[in-house]
Chains A and B, each alone.
Chain A
Amino acid sequence: MIHGYAGTVLRIDLGSEQIIKEPLAEKMCEEFIGGRGFVAKTLYEELLPDTDPFDEKNLFIIATGPLSGHLLPASGKTHFGCKSPATGGYADSNMGGHFGPALKYAGYDMAILTGRAETPSIIVIEDEKIELRKADQYWGKGSLICEELLKKELGENFQILTIGPSGEKMVKFACISHDFGRQAGRTGIGAVLGSKNIKAIAVKGTGSIPVFDVEKAFKKGKEAFKKVSEKPGFKGWTPEGTAGITDWVNEVGAFPTKNFQTSHIDHNKNINGKKVVERIKITDKGCYCCPTPCGKYGHTKTKMGSAYMEGPEFETIALFGGSCFLQTIEEVAYANYLCDELGIDTISGASVAAFTIECYEKGLLTMEEIGHDVRFGDLESIVYLLNLIGLRKTKLGDLLANGVKTASESIGQGSEKFAIHVKGLEWTGYECRNAPSMMLAYMTADIGAHHNRAWVLGHDVVGAATNVHDLITAGTDSDTRAKAEVSAKASAEFVIDSQHTRPAFDLLGTCRLQLMELGFEVENYAELYSVITGKEKTWEDILEISEKVWTLTRLISAREIENFGRRLDYPPARFSEEPTPTGPNKGYCIPMKDLDSMLDAYYEKRGWDTNGIPTLETIDRVGLKELVK
């Protein structure tokens, strides 16, 4: 028995339908904790190098953490991993909801799927009973509809994850949906599940998770809830959730606008958190054991239709309300709903739509090729494009379904400069031409341009912390260059600290927002880990493992992607060559020499070589010598 964990790894080979249950290795728990750590270790050890992401040999991993399913704030996170169809490198994506805890109650910390089911199938897990069932009647159905039907068939107590038609068609940014609105959105993991012919996974667990000191863990867990409820932001943050940041991001000139052409909009008051509450929300919708639910479930009505949906959260608002320029929260919510039903990531889906519209406006794509007149700010255009792309309709839809990187390489004519991605993963909701630390965070995030690995925009906005403008305004003289170097090093340090802190929660299996939004102290998590598992780990110990996992994910991408290194850490040329044309950050961009200064400082601080590959000394220092031979 390993306290805190369910104790079993479930392996399902979908081709042979062989099911293996093996004991969870205590050494892996000690060295990699759980969640993202389990994903990275398993991919490194078991993924055959150079496997195509859609080959049946690709792994699909579901992993929980030691704190998942326990009585403490927001213990509902579930992690997914595979080789990414979007980037060709390391992929993980996580979601809230109730699935991971249910998997643990059923007895499994982790499930590893290999092979490909012969026909469309669903996996039904009910404690020790595992079934692969035919799913012809569900294939082709939307993610939300499929979940509703499965709940009716299996029962309310099953926790269900589904893919939509886009996952079935292996759209490279297809997501996994759960609980009528939670998604593991990024890196195209839904497409990998689709490639394995798996439409849904349902789990019901009635078992108990062993705890080292159940009385003490109960007491500490209750205290943790009380501490969170006493934080000053507790009452203020929840009503709007992440959407509450919309006005601020716009005010500081970081709001992605019209495919990141600029960074400020005038209609923010029509799409902000207040409008979500006024016009959309029916109820707050919480993940497992979450005291501060960011999920807003509601209803929207537009000229294109009406729908029940969860959201929109900030990222969806930024990408559909800003980058696609939709004018009202109802329209943003409807686009959100359509993505959810198709089963595509709202961030990438909106980005590909915005990229297409800019191509059209610039004359790089014709109306004949697109099949429709498409415009920023027009919901009908966005709905048309999402269906075109999400269902791989027409030759162009099929191309765009591979993401902006692949599409721009095919369209050419300079479109690569405004294909907003890093490593093939579309950029999320913060425009960074006057935010070098956040820019560096996007450049170096291990899955591509994602914000959840490091969020340091606040440092850039404060300015004094990083002397941000010393970097951006540096000339070529030695005096200003010296200041720029100092700024680059400060940015690198902030980013690295954040890249260890935030993903540490992805090891534990909890949400990080109680720390990030309310300031619930990290020491609480170390204490809860210890009383639940019976193993002493300080928060610093957990951060060390977080660094080890970060190094490992870099090594996985370096192994899988040809000529991996610095060349893939740059943002699109728009951010280094085109000064922001309007808004608070008018005139700013970050030239290549400064991007390189930041990368130099970052690699040096991490102990990577000048091409961004971890050195042997670093591999040894972080504790990977035994694994990485």
Chain B
Amino acid sequence: MELFANHSKCSGCGTCKLACSIANFKQVTPSKGLLRIEGRFPSPGDYRIHLCDQCGVCADVCPVEAITLENGVWLIDEDVCIACHDCVEACPKDVMIIKPENNMPAKCILCGECAEICPRQAIELRQTTAVGEKK
């Protein structure tokens, strides 16, 4: 599975980020959304959706191998993680966060809530080849 962005459908409403935060952290705060909506105003006057595409760069830079691939999704093992935040810094899409409550990084787990809630189908969860196979 993989998340796909259709930028021209996005209206910047931010529902995706809020749903992500509630689904993953049970908190009503888009600051914990594990994706990013960029409004480009005044010019060119549009939105860009930045999604985790499970590229694995976070795992590549992790010094303690706390991020591992399971069923096409890179997952963080908080018992192994040393909270160095190298992964957050390295994320090419800038869609990882640091959780203030325990200083641990967090990333998209491909739960699909953002795609499900988007009222304009600007984000879609599609069946694709496994991440490992693509690489």
Contact = CB atoms under 8 A, between A and B. Distances in A.
B45 A209 contact: no
A415 to B, nearest CB: 38
A289 B23 contact: no
B28 A288 contact: no
A570 interface: no
Contacts of B27: 208, 214
Contacts of A492: none
A88 to B, nearest CB: 36
B125 to A, nearest CB: 15
Interface in B44-91: 44-47
A288 B14 contact: yes
Given A205-B31, A289-B14, A290-B13, A282 B46 contact: yes
A225 interface: yes
Given A105-B29, A286-B12, A286-B13, A291 B119 contact: yes
A125 to B, nearest CB: 14
Interface in B109-124: 116-117, 119-120
A148 B39 CA distance: 11
A354 B9 CA distance: 38
B11 A283 contact: yes
Interface stretch (A293-301, A327-335, A604-612): A293-301
Interface string A203-240: 00111111100110010001001001100000000000
B28 A282 contact: no
B8 interface: yes
A388 to B, nearest CB: 25
A293 B13 contact: yes
A70 to B, nearest CB: 6
Contacts of B11: 283-286, 290, 293, 295
B92 interface: no
A71 B18 contact: yes
Contacts of B8: 283
Nearest to A210: B28
Contacts of B21: 208
A449 B9 CA distance: 36
A206 B41 contact: no
A432 interface: no
Given A105-B31, A208-B27, A283-B11, A297 B100 contact: no
A292 B120 CA distance: 9
B29 A207 contact: yes
Interface string A123-164: 000000000000000000000100010000000110000000
B43 interface: yes
Interface string A282-324: 1111111111110101110000000010000000000000000
B75 to A, nearest CB: 22
A531 B21 CA distance: 18
Nearest to B7: A283
Nearest to B43: A308
Interface string B1-34: 0000000101111110011011100111111100
Contact of B26 (A156, A214, A284): A214
A289 B15 contact: yes
B15 to A, nearest CB: 5
Contacts of A215: 26
A98 interface: yes
A495 B42 CA distance: 39
A100 interface: no
A434 B119 CA distance: 39
Nearest to B44: A282
A614 interface: no
A179 B11 CA distance: 12
Given A214-B26, A284-B11, A290-B13, A298 B45 contact: yes
Nearest to A290: B13
B41 A308 contact: yes
Contact of A214 (B28, B44, B45): B28
A310 to B, nearest CB: 9
A156 B94 CA distance: 13
A308 B45 contact: yes
A222 B22 CA distance: 11
B13 to A, nearest CB: 4
Given A98-B14, A209-B29, A293-B11, A218 B22 contact: yes
A180 interface: yes
Contacts of B43: 308
Contacts of A291: 13, 15, 119-120
Contacts of B41: 148, 179-180, 297, 308
B38 A156 contact: yes
B45 A289 contact: no
A69 interface: yes
Contacts of A298: 45
Contact of B42 (A144, A156, A284, A295): A144
A307 to B, nearest CB: 8
A105 B45 CA distance: 26
A39 to B, nearest CB: 23
Contacts of A144: 42
Nearest to B26: A214
B28 to A, nearest CB: 4
Contact of A105 (B15, B23, B30, B117): B30
Contacts of A287: 13
Contacts of A292: 119
Contacts of B12: 285-286
A70 B18 CA distance: 8
Most A Cβ at <10 Å: residue of B21, B30, B43, B44: B30
14 contacts: A105-B31, A148-B41, A180-B41, A205-B31, A208-B21, A211-B28, A214-B27, A215-B26, A218-B19, A283-B8, A288-B14, A289-B15, A291-B120, A292-B119
Given A222-B117, A285-B11, 7 more contacts: A71-B28, A214-B26, A284-B11, A291-B13, A295-B11, A297-B45, A308-B43
* 3 shortest interchain CB distances as A-B pairs: A291-B119, A286-B11, A286-B13
